[in-house]
A and B are shown apart, each in its own frame.
Chain A
Amino acid sequence: MSLRQKTRELKKRMLSAQQGGGMSAIEKQVSMGKLTARERILALLDPGSFHEYDLFVEHAGKDFDMDKKYLPGDGVVTGTGTIDGHPVCIYAQDFTVAGGSLGYMHAKKITKIMDHALKMKVPLIGINDSGGARIQEGVNSLAGYGEIFYRNTISSGVIPQISVILGPCAGGAVYSPALTDFVFVVDGISKMFITGPEVIKTVLGEEISMEELGGARTHASISGNAHFFAYNEFECFTQIKTLLGFIPWNNSQKPEIFEAEEPDTKEYKISKIFPNNEKEPYDVRDIIKAIADASFFFEVQELFAPNIVIGFARIEGMTVGIVANQPLYLAGVLDVDSSDKAARFIRFCDAFNIPIVTFVDLPGYLPGVDQEHSGVIRHGAKILYAYSEATVPKITIILRKAYGGGYIAMGSRHLQADFVFAWPTAEIAVMGPEGAANIIFKKEIQDAEDPEEMRKKKVEEYRMKFANPYVAAAYGHIDAVIDPKDTRMYITHSLKVSTNKTVIIPEKKHGIPPF
């Protein structure tokens, strides 16, 4: 055969393999509002950049007549490509081929591209759309999952790992996304659960729809398993690209520096956003937008535990991770969910050399039996651990309330923040004036002719004396009390000063964070 004939043969084989599960399966996929695996990869990567591997891999099933079946690419598309010019490794499960079920060779393809990503130190993107383990292949499919989980864990903190749930992801399969850094979900398309609604109904008699149990909205707002919520697949891909613009390719690099852009201070003016009454809520994201380049704040886990806000922004072109209490929700308290959310984000930023900017305004930890019993002690400890452990530049700005344990937890000087600034509106104290006055002046209030009047007087006395930033400033616990409109300037300067920050920590295998 001539070279031309052989090339033609190759083209023919490629075309046949690229068809996936065939026309009827593809039509079914499209009717569900979903793209096919290959379309998804092409939509996400730079045009012409996708290079596919293992197209001709065939499945390894021998039993139950599986040996007579041909599954193109064994239900997963893998390869490399670029996003905005940056190299990435990617895999996408193909639901049109045997429901995207995971067999031995399917898993081999995935682990091969994962190994590649770790070796080349480039981000890994996994698009999940699979019915689960391929039961006909028995323990081999379980082995496949295990191999994937191991690589997710080993790569954690070395390369960014992104999971995109564009279809079902059920049973053991959910643990791969859970081990990765960011999980993207799409309304009406993503479904994640350990046990499905059917099993829950037959075993427990609890009735719930698949969407309510494990749909995109559920994971984005209630369970906290998802980090980004989109209304359609294209919006989801835009989110992935935006995220990759903020984070470095691996843990030995720093985030790319962009051209500085001034925030839109007409739309976001601190003096207009920040209320005069210290008990009024405001949207802390507006404060962030008043400080961030182009007033752009890329929020992570927007719908989950909204009492804390986390996300990425740039200041004078430098990428920062932002953690901020949100007085708009639950007065901005720390609770089980918000501590968990912030701690994980801080650890991500620390692993990938992204400085952390913290905005503090919280009345403390949330009181309640449900909080205590769901472990607010060990969950709350995560945030202390994460801040203490982080060696990236840490800049903290106390906007308003910083009381008690909350003050310590939110990136305080004592957890080795590098720069701590306070606005003149800051109230840094062991507790709020109301609570403190009732304890300190208990006797005076009790003995007074008009206890209520005396209480008010004492609360005011305490407020004047302690509910300000100057007591903490007198001890050097904060570095400066600053004019709010200079905040951006102070952060920029702090970032520049800390470019070469080095911290020596005792040698250890690893710490034992309060997971």
Chain B
Amino acid sequence: MASLHSKTFIMKEDNNIQNIENEKLKFEEITINEATYYTIIPDKYKKRKTFVKKNPNQVFAFIPGVIEKIRVNVKDEINKGDILCDLVAMKMNNKVLAPIDGIIKKIYVKEGDTVPKDHLLFEITPKKVNKKQE
């Protein structure tokens, strides 16, 4: 049976771990429920996506695809639900809609661009709500 990581090793009581095959197994610390353990951290865990809170004023591609048509310009005033651009993906002509009322601050793509999922497309300066007027 093939074994890519079956190795024998011994442990000393002073927390030093030595591999008798002289190939060093790398133990790292991981904290779970406030206790710290020594263990091997697999690549898949290290490469996991760390959570980044999305800026609500930014519009991202919800699907990977091609920007076919951009329907707004910088400084345009837009309302929630307006079409910002056409994003062609999976044989569908998808519409990217404005999530909020405001003014287009910056456009990060141009027509014909291929974008991955979660690629930044637009940034909007939100409309200031004047509470007195309401």
Interface residues of A, Cβ cutoff 8 Å to B: 203-206, 221-222, 229-231, 235, 239, 242, 275-277, 279-283, 285-286, 298-299, 302-303, 306-307, 327-333, 337, 363-364, 366-370, 373, 403-404, 431-435, 438
Contacts and interface: CB of A to CB of B under 8 A. Distances in A.
Range of interface residues on chain B?
Answer: 35 or more
Nearest to A371: B48
Given A277-B15, A329-B39, A205 B30 contact: no
Contact of B33 (A205, A277, A285, A434): A434
Nearest to B4: A303
Given A206-B116, A330-B41, A364 B33 contact: yes
Contacts of B37: 279, 281, 327, 331, 363
B116 A205 contact: yes
A388 B2 CA distance: 33
B26 to A, nearest CB: 11
A242 B1 contact: yes
A306 B42 contact: yes
Contacts of B1: 239, 242, 298-299
A329 B41 CA distance: 6
Given A364-B32, A370-B51, A373-B51, A229 B38 contact: no
Interface in B1-40: 1-6, 8-9, 11, 13, 15, 17, 27, 30, 32-40
Nearest to B64: A204
Contacts of A435: 33-35
B111 to A, nearest CB: 15
Contact of B40 (A275, A303, A328, A433): A328
B15 A369 contact: no
Contact of B45 (A205, A206, A330, A363): A330
B80 interface: no
A432 B2 contact: no
List of 8 A-B pairs having minimum Cβ-Cβ separation, nearest first: A369-B51, A331-B37, A434-B34, A205-B114, A435-B33, A363-B32, A435-B34, A331-B39
A217 B85 CA distance: 40
B114 A330 contact: no
A55 B18 CA distance: 58
B38 A432 contact: no
Given A229-B2, A277-B15, A282-B11, A432 B48 contact: no
B50 interface: yes
A231 B3 CA distance: 10
Contacts of B64: 203-204
B36 to A, nearest CB: 7
A224 B59 CA distance: 33
Of residues B27, B37, B40, which shows the largest number of chain A Cβ atoms within 10 Å of its Cβ?
B37
A374 to B, nearest CB: 9
Contact of B13 (A230, A277, A283, A330): A277
Given A203-B64, A281-B27, A329-B40, 15 more contacts: A204-B114, A206-B116, A229-B2, A275-B11, A277-B13, A280-B15, A281-B37, A303-B4, A306-B42, A329-B42, A330-B40, A330-B45, A331-B37, A433-B35, A434-B34
